[in-house]
A and B are shown apart, each in its own frame.
Chain A
C-alpha cells in the first residue's frame, strides 16, 4: 500500500476546509451551510488521519471515528433545528433570520 505524501494530504485537507468555509460564508440556504460545515469537519478529519499516518500512530484513525460519530449527532441536531426554523419562519434563506440583530 503506497502512502500519501504528508504535504499533499495536508494541502488537500486545507483546500477542503477553505471550500467548506467559503460555502458557510457565501451560501444563503441553511441546508447548504450545514453541508459546508460537514465538509469542513471532514477536512479536519483528513488532517488528523494524515498526521496519524505521518507519525505511524493509530490515534489519528481513532479520532476520525470520533469525528464521524460527532458529525452524525451534529447532523441530527442540525436538521431538527432546521425543521423547527422552517416551521416558524417558512424560509430556508439565512438572511431572513435577523431577529438576533443587535
Chain B
C-alpha cells in the first residue's frame, strides 16, 4: 500500500484540475462531489497508508518514494520524491482528515455563494500543495508546496474580491509572508552551497558531519530557516498579516489560517531539527520569539470585538507555544500541540462560522449574546473547543499538549523559568480571552435574530472535531499521569526526545498551571458575565480605554510598519518621480527612436540599393572572414 503514497497529493490536485478546467459543465452538486470527494479519497488513502506504515514500522521507519528527476544540471539533480516518516504521517493525517471535514462543512456554508466552483478549486489546490509541502523529500519540493499554500492563501483571503478591503488584506498577507519566504529561499541556497544536497536525510547527516555546533554557517542557515518559519507562521515581527487574513470565508480561516498552513513554519523547523540543534543561539531566539508572540497575541485577543479576530490572535498565540517548544528542543511537543490545535481551532472557527452565517454575517461578539439557548448544538461543541483551547485540566486535549510544552520549557536543557513563566501567563490569558468570547457570545440576552437551522453537513464536522478536541490528548499521557507517551515514541524514530525530569516537580507544576487556567476562566466569568456592565463602563474610562485600544490594534504594529516602511516609500515616490534609473530606461527608448529614423532612411524602396547593400555586406563579411 505504501507505493500508493503519491496518490495522496495527486487526488486533490486532480480534483483541482477537474474543477478548474471542466468545472463549468458541472452542476453545484457535481462541484461539491468532486471537491469533497477528492479530499475524502485522499483522507481514506492516507489512513490506509498509515496502517501499512505503522504495521511495518519497525522494519522501515522511513519510506521514500522517488517519482522522477526534476532537474538534471551537472551535479544538481533534485528528484521529485515523497518521504513518509512518523513526522510527515502525523501532518498528512491532520491535513487530509481536518481538510475533509472542512470541505464537507463548506458545501453547506458556501451553498449560496456564486463562487462555489472557484472556492472548491482553490481549496483542493491548497490541500494538494500542503500535502506536497509535508511529504517533500527535499527542500526544493518542500518550497514548491510552501509557495503553493502561500498562493492559495492569497487567493482565498481575497476570495470575495469585490470588496477592495479583502483584496488589500490578501495583498498584505502575500507581501508580508514574502519577506519570510525570501529568507527561506536564501536559506535553501546557503544549505545547498554549504552541504551540497537538498535531501532532508542528506542535509541532517551532512550538517552533523561538516558543521560544528555554533559554527557561523549553521547559525546563518538556521536563522534564515527561522525567518521563513516566522513569516509563514505569523510570529513576531511578521505576525500582522494573520488578523487581516480573516477577510476570507470562515472555512478558509479554519483550514488555512488555523489548522494547517500557519503551522508549516513549525513543520519546517521540526523537519530541519538537525540544523537547528547545531545553532543553539537560534534555538534561544526561537524560544524567545515564541514566548513574546504568545504573550502579545494573548493580550491582543483580550480586546478584540470581531469573533474571528479573537480566534486569529489566539492562533498566533498558540503557534507561539509551538515555537517555544521548538526553541527548547521539545520537537515532539510542538508536533503534539500542532495536532491538538488543529482539532480545536478548526472546531472553534467552524462553530463561529455557523454563528456568523446565522446572524447574517455579523462578526461583532457584542451583537451576538444569548446564543446558548438558540443553537445548543453549536454551543456545546464550541464549548468543547474553548475548553481545549483554554487547556481545562485532565479532560481536554489542549491541556496535555500545552502541559508538555510548559514542562519542556521548565525542565529541558534549553529551557528556563522565564520561558516557563511566559507560557504560564499565556495560559492565563488564553483561558481569559477564550471564556470572554464564550460568555459574551453565548450568554446574556439575545441581541440579534438568529435564523439558521444548521444542517447535517455543518453539524457533523463540529461533532467529529469536538470529539477529537477532547480525546486527542490521550495520545500522549505525561509521566505524572500514567506515562504513556504514544506520540513521542512514534515520533522518536525521526526526532530526538528529551530526557525525563523530576516527576514530583512535574505534578506540582501541573497543579499550578491547572489553578492558573481555572483562575483565568473564573476571572472571565466575573468580568464578562456577572459584572459585564461594570466592566464595560470601566473600559470606557480614558486610561483603560487607551490600553484597550492599544491591544485592539495589535500593539500598534500595523501603525509602526506603516510609518517605517509604507510612508517612506510613498514619500520617496512622491518627491522623486523620475530618478536616474528612469533616465537610463528613457535613454534606451530615445536611442531606439533615433536608430529607427536613421535606418528608415535606408529603406529607399529601390532594388539597386538593396542589391548593393547585400553585396557590400557580403564583401565586408568575406573580408572579416579572410583577414581576421
Interface residues of A (CB under 8 A from B): 21, 24-28, 30, 33, 94-95, 97-102
Contacts and interface: CB of A to CB of B under 8 A. Distances in A.
Contact of A100 (B601, B605, B608, B611): B605
B615 A21 contact: yes
Interface residues of B, number: 13
Contact of B605 (A25, A30, A101): A101
Contact of B607 (A21, A94, A102): A94
Given A99-B605, A102-B602, 12 more contacts: A21-B611, A25-B608, A26-B608, A28-B608, A33-B607, A94-B607, A95-B608, A97-B605, A98-B604, A98-B606, A100-B605, A102-B599
Contact of A25 (B599, B601, B603, B611): B611
Contact of A101 (B599, B603, B608): B603
A102 B600 contact: yes
B71 interface: no
Interface of B: 599-608, 611-612, 615
Main SS of the interface on chain B? helix
A100 B615 contact: no
A25 B615 contact: yes
A24 B609 CA distance: 10
In this complex, the member of B599, B602, B608 whose beta carbon has the largest number of chain A beta carbons within 10 angstroms is B608
A16 to B, nearest CB: 15
A98 B604 CA distance: 7
B603 A102 contact: yes
A33 B608 CA distance: 9
18 contacts: A21-B611, A25-B612, A25-B615, A26-B608, A27-B608, A28-B608, A30-B607, A94-B606, A94-B607, A94-B608, A98-B605, A99-B605, A100-B603, A100-B605, A101-B603, A102-B602, A102-B603, A102-B604
Contacts of B602: 102
A30 B607 CA distance: 9
B603 A24 contact: no
A88 to B, nearest CB: 15
A102 B604 CA distance: 6
Nearest to B618: A21
A82 B604 CA distance: 20
For the complex of A and B, list the 6 residue pairs with the smallest distance between their C-beta atoms, beginning with the closest. Answer: A102-B603, A101-B605, A98-B605, A102-B600, A100-B605, A94-B607
A21 B602 CA distance: 20
Nearest to B607: A94
Contacts of B599: 102
A56 to B, nearest CB: 27
Contacts of A101: 603-605
Nearest to A18: B615
Contacts of B607: 30, 33, 94, 97
A95 B608 CA distance: 8
B605 A102 contact: yes
Contacts of B604: 98, 101-102
A94 B604 CA distance: 12
A95 B606 contact: yes
A102 B602 CA distance: 8
B606 A24 contact: no
Nearest to A21: B615
B600 to A, nearest CB: 4
Nearest to B601: A102
Nearest to A37: B611
A102 B598 CA distance: 11
Contacts of B605: 97-102
A40 B371 CA distance: 98
A97 B609 CA distance: 12
Contacts of A27: 608
A53 B611 CA distance: 31
Contacts of B611: 21, 24-25
A94 B601 CA distance: 18
Contacts of A26: 608
A23 to B, nearest CB: 10
In this complex, the member of B600, B601, B603, B605 whose beta carbon has the largest number of chain A beta carbons within 10 angstroms is B605
B276 to A, nearest CB: 66
Nearest to B615: A21
Contacts of A95: 606, 608
A26 B599 CA distance: 23
Nearest to B604: A101
A36 to B, nearest CB: 9
A53 to B, nearest CB: 24
In this complex, the member of A25, A26, A97, A100 whose beta carbon has the largest number of chain B beta carbons within 10 angstroms is A25
Contacts of A21: 611, 615
Contacts of A97: 605-607
Nearest to B616: A25
A99 B605 CA distance: 6
